[in-house]
Amino acid sequence: DQQVKQNSPSLSVQEGRISILNCDYTNSMFDYFLWYKKYPAEGPTFLISISSIKDKNEDGRFTVFLNKSAKHLSLHIVPSQPGDSAVYFCAASGVYGQNFVFGPGTRLSVLP
């Protein structure tokens, strides 16, 4: 039962262009969403979060959009840089955030 889905296992983008990573969820009780980036042989690193009371959160080159009615969120990276090449995980939790459910990840490759 995949409660958090990332339907694109991989994405390639040219340096300087926008990267858009998508995430869909099925559990309407999810209230809080995060994006993590993971390099090989390292733990996931927190990037940006959004709570359900917002539809957008921005931090530098990273913007997360949330569409609650569609149960969809996306991460925009602009401009994309080669160092952004990593696996990106979407994660979701309920109101009290005890258990984060992770999506399967999308491998982003930013080509120079």
Residues that bind other proteins (CB under 8 A): 31-32, 34, 36, 41-46, 49-53, 89, 93, 95-105
How long is the chain? 112
CA distance 26 to 70: 10
DSSP states of 27-54: -TT--EEEEEEE-TTS--EEEEEEETT-
Shortest spacing between CB 1 and other proteins, in angstroms = 11
Considering the complex, state which of residue 83 and residue 96 has its C-beta at the smaller distance from other proteins: 96
Considering the complex, state which of residue 2 and residue 12 has its C-beta at the smaller distance from other proteins: 2
Considering the complex, state which of residue 37 and residue 80 has its C-beta at the smaller distance from other proteins: 37
CA distance 99 to 58: 24
Shortest spacing between CB 35 and other proteins, in angstroms = 11
CB 12 within 8 A of CB 109: yes
Shortest spacing between CB 16 and other proteins, in angstroms = 29
Shortest spacing between CB 84 and other proteins, in angstroms = 18
Identify the CA nearest to 106 among candidates 24, 10, 39, 3.
Answer: 10
Considering the complex, state which of residue 17 and residue 56 has its C-beta at the smaller distance from other proteins: 56
